[in-house]
Amino acid sequence: MTRNTDRYDAITQQIIDDVTSKALQWKAWWSAENLLQHELCPRHYDNTPFTGKNAIALFSRAINKHFRSPYWLTFCQAIAFRGTVVAAAQPSLILCDTPQEQAYRSREVKGRGKTDRDIDLYKVYNADEIVGLPPCFYGDAAYSDVEDERRMDDLELFFFRTGAIVSVKTKPRYIPLHDTVEMPPFACFDTPAKYYMTLAHELIHWTGNQSRLNRTFNKREENLQGYAKEELIAELGASFLAAELGLEIRPLEHHAAYIQSWLAALNDNPSFIHSASEEAQKAVRYITSLRKPSPYYPGFPPVSSSPPAPTARPKPKPPRPG
């Protein structure tokens, strides 16, 4: 028995002990709240930050489009500031799921014969898609998920070499149909380890593609047990991969809580953890054997270990439209 196998068995047993001995609560490691301190946190025209899913969605879009401004305006708000939305601009949809967003949208549709009950979604444009706005709306530092100084060079290179296609979206997931991994922006995670652990979970799913280890992917609504088994494999694999990479597994209870949440779909039978552990070990061995660069990984090339100090830029508070 190899040292790695011994280590994996020890991790598996500790997770089983946690799962069977106490009730645990799993909490996602990414949050829009972590964006609030970011210089380019998405903001309304009056400097009020977007929150929740809207913040993550706009931040992700800004990264993908390389926008330099943190400000997002509706068509009417742009006109109020004497701006013009460019012809090629593509609006982003905002969900009115909070009183704050409903208030902004209410002002937008006032006088058009609509009520709050008609308000579900509305469209916004980044200031970079609008010409003629006051200068304070335009930023001088591009959104860059690559240049985050907290990224770890060795881990960036490791994940880059898997060859996986990773794109910046609103939540972490693997899409078998397109064979792609989606991840929230790096800034949504309060520690680098949580980002890399979440990415590791999705890459374990990625190994199950028919061109790799050929595991069966089930839709949650069609085969809950099959779906749950794959989640056990991915979470155990993430904990094993963390051990391989020297990431702090803090705490193992986080993995145990996630596994416990899916074990209920498997009649709370811990024996499934052992079989999932075998598949997870295969997935980790596969990932660690890869040396193929991916041009699609957003965190590459790795940043310098001593990044330059960012230039301080005060956040202006634009004037309200008259």
**35 Cβ contact list (under 8 Å, min separation 6):** 41, 42, 49, 55, 56, 59, 185, 187, 188
What are the extents of the domains in the chain? Answer: 3-30+146-288, 41-137
Cα 304–Cα 309–Cα 311 angle in degrees, nearest 5? 130
Residue with tokens 């499934």: 272
C-alpha torsion 238→243→246→251, nearest 10: 70
pLDDT band at 172 (very low <50, low <70, confident <90, very high): very high
Is the whole model's pTM more than 0.95, yes or no?
Answer: no
Could you give the CA distance from residue 139 to residue 154 in angstroms, rounded to a whole number? 31
Which backbone phi and psi does 43 adopt, to 5 degrees?
-135, 150
pLDDT tens by residue, 260-313: 666 766 666 777 778 888 999 999 999 999 866 555 556 554 433 344 444 445
Q: What is the mean pLDDT of the chain?
A: 79
DSSP conformation class of 210? T
Could you give the CA distance from residue 245 to residue 199 in angstroms, rounded to a whole number? 13
pLDDT tens by residue, 289-300: 986 655 555 655
pLDDT tens by residue, 119-152: 578 899 999 999 999 999 997 766 666 556 778 8
